[in-house]
Amino acid sequence: MPAVVVVGAQWGDEGKGKVVDIFAEHADVIARYQGGNNAGHTLVVGGEKTVLHLVPSGVLHPGKVCVIGNGVVVDPAVLIEEIERLQHRGYLLDDQLLKISDRAHLIMPYHRAIDLARERLRGEDRIGTTGRGIGPTYEDKMARIGIRFADLLDESSFHDLLRNTLAEKNAYIRALLQEEPFAFDAIHEQYSRYRERLAKYVTDVSVYLAQALSKGQRLLLEGGQGTMLDVDHGTYPFVTSSNTVASAACTGVGIPPGRISCVVGIVKAYTTRVGSGPFPTELHDATGEKLRQDGDEFGATTGRPRRCGWFDAVVVRHAVRINGIQGLALTKIDVLTGIDPIRICVAYEYNGQRYEHFPASMQVLRNAQPVYEEHPGWNEPLTSARTIEDLPRNARRYIQRLEELTETPMYLISVGANRNETILLRNPFHS
Ligand code: IMP
């Protein structure tokens, strides 16, 4: 009855989708535990590309059950569109293969409007959100005025909740954001249609998972975003509005901490981030541009160019500690081909002080100077490597140095976007 958590160890976009897809082969159930359609996972199987925003990345394995946990915020229109796209291609044809928690919160049209209007008003200080209404939905959850699937399914509760909440939201939207208010009837009608379409998937996910685990089924828990976007442990306030770290997997699907058998951290062989906020190893030069082009570093959700920089061991050590990462999955090492030398940040310096641990202060982070080590690069393409011995010596040395600096072994090395372009060193379900 193992439960494996896959968590991003940087600022998201580490390639969790591909890794979850690979580990999913060994799992029976794959569950998302937080975030929403701010996430975008790109999977390439047999040359065919699939982009997922809400359905867990195990969906391309026939017969596996995909679960959307209570910790996820769901935009029903996006979910329905995603289900239909998948069904069109022959996936999720059995309704039993998708479960949505009755406690998951719904993203409403006013959440999206508030997200976008706030960002506009912030101007230069904007967070650079994905504009999908994620933050305002989590705010309502904490303010105890959110609407959950259980509420949507009960027609009269939904009616009353929407009426009360909308009165407050419209007052805010009009007075503070100077935008048009929303009409009750239009939202009520639209969400009643969503109820009809999604009701069959809604269930008590905690009860379902407890039963699955006690039957000996294997559970894979998929995080969205990454550790540095965690609302507590990331670069606050330039973060997302949920806890993205491994411990959130338990609250996000309703399983106890003792069930987690292994935590795998996903790291890119360099670093990227989208949106605003500190990024000590960011490159503003030709190497940064090369990483962006060769790594196709453009957001799967918003299409925005990602900021690119060197691997930051301070960040990844922070992630290893907070998540309890037992093994790393290293992605996009193939993108470093042709870059020489390659640098790794091992600490920061600011005001005569050396920082080995990731600092909380924005002031320190904005001015921190990375302390770099240099490593010789390689020119060979890596995409056909299937064992560690197939890699050039300098690539092997680079990987070994990352293991030393993070004090964590590699479980998997990804050398290309395709499912088969992978070196699997250790199966987390057996560790
Ligand atoms: P939000 O989650 O849309 O509120 O955006 C907050 C911050 O998290 C912004 O910097 C986004 O760019 C970032 N973000 C949200 N989701 C992802 C993701 O899946 N990958 C990378 N960055 C993300």
DSSP string for 222-276: E--S-GGG-TTTSSTTSS-SS--STTHHHHHHT--GGGEEEEEEEEESSEEE-SS
Helices 76-88 and 184-198: angle between axes, nearest 10 degrees:
40
The best mutation among 240, 242, 279 to test binding of ligand 1, ranked by most ligand atoms within 8 Å of the C-beta, falls on 240
Please count the residues of the chain: 431
- Of 41, 53, 318, 375, which residue is the catalytic one? 41
Name the strand (E) or helix (H) holding 202: strand 202-203
Residue 241 near ligand 1, beta carbon < 6 Å: yes
Ligand 1 mean position to 130 CA, how many Å? 6
Residue 134 near ligand 1, beta carbon < 6 Å: yes
Active site residue 13: yes
Output DSSP code: residue 27: -
What SS3 state is found at 318? helix
Ligand 1 mean position to 216 CA, how many Å? 35
Are 40 and 299 in contact by the 8 Å Cβ rule? The answer is yes
Ligand 1 mean position to 308 CA, how many Å? 15
- What is the DSSP secondary-structure string of 343-402? EEEEEEEETTEEESS----HHHHHHPEEEEEEE----S--TT--SGGGS-HHHHHHHHHH
What SS3 state is found at 52? strand
Residue 202 near ligand 1, beta carbon < 6 Å: no
d(CA 302, CA 12): 14
The best mutation among 72, 129, 266 to test binding of ligand 1, ranked by most ligand atoms within 8 Å of the C-beta, falls on 129
Output DSSP code: residue 282: B
Rg (CA), the chain: 22
Residue 272 near ligand 1, beta carbon < 6 Å: no
Look at ligand 1, atom 15, and give the residue with the nearest C-alpha.
Answer: 38
Residue 133 near ligand 1, beta carbon < 6 Å: no
pLDDT given at position 300: 78
pLDDT given at position 217: 97
pLDDT given at position 156: 96
pLDDT given at position 402: 98
pLDDT given at position 262: 97
Atom of ligand 1 nearest to the CA of 129: 5
Query: Could you list the pLDDT tens digit for every one of the 431 residues in the chain?
Result: 699 999 999 999 999 999 999 999 999 999 999 999 999 888 888 888 888 999 998 899 999 999 999 999 999 999 999 999 999 999 999 999 999 999 999 999 999 999 999 999 999 889 999 999 999 999 999 999 999 999 999 999 999 999 999 999 999 999 988 999 999 999 999 999 999 999 999 999 999 999 999 999 999 999 999 999 999 999 999 999 999 999 999 999 999 999 999 999 999 999 999 989 999 999 999 999 999 999 999 987 788 899 999 999 999 999 999 999 999 999 999 999 999 999 999 999 999 999 999 999 999 999 999 999 999 999 999 999 999 999 999 999 999 999 999 999 999 999 999 999 999 999 999 86
Active site residue 41: yes
Ligand 1 mean position to 224 CA, how many Å? 9
Bridge pairing between strands 342-350 and 369-375: antiparallel
pLDDT given at position 44: 84
Bridge pairing between strands 410-414 and 422-424: antiparallel
Ligand 1 mean position to 132 CA, how many Å? 10
Residue 297 near ligand 1, beta carbon < 6 Å: no
Atom of ligand 1 nearest to the CA of 8: 20
d(CA 58, CA 76): 20
Q: How many CB atoms lie within 10 A of CB 260?
A: 19
Helices (runs of H) and strands (runs of E) counted in the chain: 13, 20
What SS3 state is found at 36? coil
Name the strand (E) or helix (H) holding 331: strand 327-331
Ligand 1 mean position to 363 CA, how many Å? 22
CA distances from 32 to 35, 89, 301 (A): 8, 22, 17
